[in-house]
Amino acid sequence: MRDPRRAGGAVLHEPVRGGLQPLRSCGPGRPRPRADPSAAVSAVPLSLSGVGFAYPGREVLRDLSFTVADGEFVAVLGPSGGGKSTLLRLVAGLLPRSAGDILVKGEPVRRPRQDVGMVFQKATLLPWRTALDNVLLPAGFRRGASAAELERAQALLKAVGLPDAAGLYPSQLSGGMAQRVGLARMLLHDPDLLLLDEPFAALDAMSRERMALVLQELWLARPRAALFVTHSIPEAVFLADRILVLAGRPARVLLDWKVELPRPRRPETMADPLFNELALALRHEFDKVAA
């Protein structure tokens, strides 16, 4: 076996082990040296420093420190029950952290914010509301929405490939269609940080691949910071600029890898030897640290 750090020629960068993972080297939105350090902090969409969390009687996360730069798509892999959803809920302001600091654009996270969009494993659509109204939920449905929000919701339904679904109810949508509505809703207020918690986990393999392409297209239309939880190594490699592996009990960031496959990534990318070599190398490293 070749050195996994060399997988894909220059594609894969050195894995980093053992906890704190400062953001390093390249990527579309990596932090650049700035004269004013406080300006640098406030410009970073997401920054975690020494973050820990415990449910009553169970420490789940310890000492997580990493940043996500503007325009950087970061996937989070980890064993089941390892704390990935907990991490996203902390960043979303849905849970209070037990230790450390979480800053979104330089501000401590205390509650959910309009400039942070989130999508969950289940689409969490309101069954008695139409697809359009579900997209408009953050605006108070159609009644509360401004003309601009209504127009944006309709444009987003088109963008996710549902131009004719505005009047359909969730019971009339397939799982993939429901997740598309969830993505549209996440983008309603054009958030600067996306939090995606296994959004395609409940879909069949083909729908999952299609959704990865839809998500990439939406993200490429305006690259922004994203934290994407998945159990799928190929999905992580396909979508991400960078992959964090969260493992251990309590969980820490044990690997921090960069993926520099060119974009846009296409279905053929998955047949590319570089893609496969990268996924395989990550699998080997994952099995070592997450055993």
Ligand X SMILES: Nc1ncnc2c1ncn2[C@@H]1O[C@H](COP(=O)(O)OP(=O)(O)OP(=O)(O)O)[C@@H](O)[C@H]1O
By the criterion CB under 6 A, which residues form the site for ligand X?
Answer: 55, 58, 60, 78, 80-86
CB of 130 to ligand X, least distance (A): 30
CB of 2 to ligand X, least distance (A): 30
DSSP designation for 115? T
Smaller CB distance to ligand X: residue 27 or 83? 83
CB of 251 to ligand X, least distance (A): 8
CB of 241 to ligand X, least distance (A): 21
Smaller CB distance to ligand X: residue 84 or 152? 84
Smaller CB distance to ligand X: residue 76 or 184? 76
The residues near 82 (Cβ < 8 Å, ≥ 6 apart) are 246, 247, 248, 251, 290
Do 285 and 243 touch, CB atoms closer than 8 A? no
Closest CA to 23 of 244, 278, 231: 244
Beta-carbon-side half-sphere exposure of residue 139 (alpha carbons within 13 Å)? 25
DSSP designation for 57? T
Helix, strand, or coil (residue 50) = strand
Smaller CB distance to ligand X: residue 81 or 163? 81
CB of 56 to ligand X, least distance (A): 7
Smaller CB distance to ligand X: residue 102 or 156? 102
Measured CA to CA, the distance from residue 200 to residue 203 in angstroms comes to 5
Pairing of strands 46-55, 116-119: unpaired
Smaller CB distance to ligand X: residue 81 or 264? 81
Please give the C-alpha separations between residue 180 and each of 11, 70, 160, 192, 270, in angstroms, as whole numbers.
31, 23, 6, 19, 22
CB of 203 to ligand X, least distance (A): 15
